[in-house]
Amino acid sequence: SSRYHTDFVELGILGRGGGGEVVKVKNRLDRRIYAIKKILLENGKDKFLQNKKLLREVTTISSVMHKNIVRYYQAWVEGNYKTDASVDHTKKQSILYIQMEYCNTTLRKLLDENAISEMNQSEVWRLVRQIVEALVYIHSRRIIHRDLKPGNIFIDSDLNIILGDFGLATRRHEKSNNKITETEYPEMDAIYNAVEEGMMSSTKGIKGDTSYGVKADIYSLGIMIFEMFCPAFATYMERSETLNRLRSGTPDERFPAAFTTSAPPNAKEIIIWCLERDPTKRPSAEELLKVSRQ
Ligand code: ATP
Ligand code: MG
Ligand code: MG
């Protein structure tokens, strides 16, 4: 029988993404709540297990352990179970289950509810610092997240950052410059996607620079820090226009007047530094930790 159905009660769907769906569950034995990501495998277990791209999330989150990174418990594959309606029995399908810590809310939600703009600056700095701490940790293990955005930053009930969604994460190799092709980014949020433009335009000439890939995460971080210190946006339109000006506006129009009055002065410098067009000029997560410790 199915281990998934034997061990867990489904409480509701948390969302659907490119890879599959994420369900809120309760473990029948320990009575605790978890999030389980189900990824549908088209070609059966054997073929799938060779597919490194789909396994990326498991291999990455199972190798990290940090207070600000989503906790991983276990992963397993089940094939052709009649109990699961989402499986088509005529094709040889199976499901990869990834059991992880359940996270209650995301930075995206808190931003949209204006909960961040109501915080005082030191509270916002504390959140920024925790994101940076998670990045220092993964970057030191040569992991690049590649999908950093407020929707992938979870926040627990004590208002601590839990970095999640390692579905696009990759391990950088010592001797390659880790050039990433666009086709690997079908699901990235349009605005945070700017990361890649910045990366691609300056690929030439820094071949072999091993610190190159991690700077994509730093670019996304810069945009997030901006959003966190920005007064609330009235509409989605205003948000995307403001973020577009930040990315590609003239120096005068990059920061709206309201930002300058609401944000601490060093936030602006840090954001400009993170958004440098040339990735090599952007700070490392470690450098950012030093300047955000105040
Ligand atoms: P895509 O995969 O296209 O980037 P996505 O990031 O929304 O989309 P998933 O990472 O599969 O896709 O997540 C789907 C949904 O499940 C999201 O809404 C996410 O907030 C939620 N979710 C993912 N992991 C957890 C978790 N550990 N705890 C609570 N909710 C989660
Ligand atoms: Mg996500
Ligand atoms: Mg995802």
Ligand with smallest separation from the Cα of 16: 1
Test site for ligand 1: of 22, 34, 56, 156, most ligand atoms within 8 A of the Cβ: 22
Q: State in Å: Cα 260 to ligand 3 middle.
A: 33
Measured from CB, residues less than 6 Å from any atom of ligand 1 are 14-19, 22, 35, 37, 70, 100-103, 106, 164-165, 167, 187
Beta bridge partners of 162: 154
Rounded CA-CA distance 149/169 in Å is: 13
* Strands 20-27 and 33-41, bridge-based pairing: antiparallel
Give first-to-last CA distance, the chain, whole Å.
55
Per-residue pLDDT of the chain (294 residues; tens, 9 = 90+): 799 999 999 999 999 876 689 999 999 999 999 999 998 876 655 565 556 677 788 988 999 999 999 999 999 988 864 445 565 555 667 888 999 999 999 999 999 999 999 999 999 999 999 999 999 999 999 999 989 999 999 999 999 999 999 987 876 654 434 443 332 322 335 456 444 444 444 443 343 344 668 999 999 999 999 999 999 888 889 998 999 999 988 989 999 999 988 899 899 999 999 999 999 999 999 999 998 875
**3-state secondary structure (DSSP) of residue 153:** strand
What are the C-alpha distances in Å from 254 to residues 32, 68, 226, 243, 281? 46, 30, 11, 8, 19
